């Protein structure tokens, strides 16, 4: 009898270990539990004409494997349409004083984890404060929790949770500041299905809000998890001045399909044109 119990216990242990190992490998495949890798050799930039756009895709955390290429494709299309130069890279060493001066707009495309060295952080801060134009998409707000300047002065809010049950609910996004150039030609609101971020404190006092989420349209479906998601006032897209520069952040964009929504594509197109048209010379 004891041998029988022992065999069952060993079998259950083996199953548990196999399950744990499979879960770990699954999480690793999504980019989690990696040792951060920092780049020190900058890529060779092509010849660029202004306006020039950098799309930066480096991750040291979760990998938005569908959204990142969707964003790259979208901005390549927009740059081609407007005659902008564009360069896409996951090499963090491109964030240096010399190379950043070549770009009018820098887009952080779903970057996760700690992706820059201390010197690269300083180069980015100087570029932005001296007139750079930055657009951060979705996962970009999860970068550098220990880099307080980035969290407090660029994002303006601390990410703390996202929707879970379901992970991609259908929700209503409501635009504000209808006369802002980033919202030209857009309706008062539209519906989308996406992973929706929440922040520890509503950032309205620090930023200029462009869009909010109507929590009544999705929060009830989140069950017990709603308590950690509910903000009351729920900004999800905003912009702010950072020195002489401009930072725009959108928490929308986990799913590749989100970038095919006409209203969201129009917003990103408007935002790119607005930032590229600003006259301050970055990096000087």
Q: What is the pLDDT of residues 157-166, one digit of tens each?
A: 999 999 999 9
Q: How far apart are CA 220 and CA 217, in angstroms?
A: 8
Express each pLDDT in 104-120 by its tens digit.
999 999 999 999 999 99
Q: Residue 43 and residue 99: Cα distance in Å, rounded?
A: 9
pLDDT above 50 (res 45) = yes
Confidence at residue 280, expressed as pLDDT on a 0 to 100 scale: 44
First and final CA of the chain: distance in angstroms?
80
> What pTM was computed for the model?
0.88
Q: Does residue 237 carry a pLDDT above 60?
A: yes
Q: How far apart are CA 140 and CA 70, in angstroms?
A: 15
Q: What is the pLDDT of residue 7?
A: 63
Q: Answer yes or no: is pLDDT of 18 > 60.
A: no
Q: Which residue has better confidence, 80 or 9?
A: 80
CB 162 within 8 A of CB 222: no
User: 35 to each of 20, 79, 114, 153, 208, how far by Cα in Å?
Assistant: 20, 34, 10, 27, 36
Q: What is the mean pLDDT of the chain?
A: 88
- Say if CB 191 and CB 150 are below 8 A apart: no
Whether 34 shows a pLDDT value over 80: the answer reads no
Q: Say what the pLDDT of residue 15 is.
A: 52
Report residue 268's pLDDT band, with 50, 70 and 90 as the boundaries. very high
* Spatial distance between the Cα atoms of 172 and 218, rounded to a whole number of angstroms: 8
Q: How many C-beta neighbours within 10 Å does residue 213 have?
A: 26
């Amino acid at each position: 009898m004891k041998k029988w119990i022992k065999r069952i216990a060993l079998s259950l242990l083996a199953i548990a270990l196999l399950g744990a190992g499979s879960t770990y490998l699954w999480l690793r495949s999504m980019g989690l539990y990696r040792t951060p890798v920092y780049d020190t050799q900058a890529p060779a930039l092509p010849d660029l004409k202004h306006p020039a756009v950098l799309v930066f895709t480096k991750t040291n955390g979760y990998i938005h494997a569908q959204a990142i290429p969707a964003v790259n494709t979208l901005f390549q299309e927009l740059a081609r349409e407007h005659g902008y130069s564009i360069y896409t890279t996951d090499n963090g060493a491109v964030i240096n004083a010399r190379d950043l001066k070549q770009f009018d707009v820098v887009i952080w495309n779903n970057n996760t984890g700690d992706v820059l060295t201390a010197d690269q952080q300083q180069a980015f801060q100087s570029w932005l404060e001296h007139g750079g134009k930055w657009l951060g998409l979705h996962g970009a707000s999860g970068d550098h929790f220990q880099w307080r300047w980035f969290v407090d002065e660029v994002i303006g809010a601390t990410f703390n949770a996202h929707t879970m049950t379901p992970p991609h609910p259908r929700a209503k996004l409501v635009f504000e500041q209808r006369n802002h150039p980033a919202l030209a030609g857009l309706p008062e609101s539209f519906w989308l299905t996406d992973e929706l971020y929440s922040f520890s404190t509503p950032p309205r006092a620090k930023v200029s809000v462009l869009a909010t989420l109507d929590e009544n349209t999705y929060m009830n479906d989140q069950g017990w998890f709603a308590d950690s998601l509910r903000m009351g006032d729920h900004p999800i897209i905003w912009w702010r001045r950072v020195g002489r520069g401009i930072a725009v952040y959108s928490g929308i964009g986990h799913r590749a399909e989100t970038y095919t929504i006409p209203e969201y594509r129009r917003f990103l197109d408007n935002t790119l044109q607005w930032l590229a048209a600003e006259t301050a010379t970055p990096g000087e």
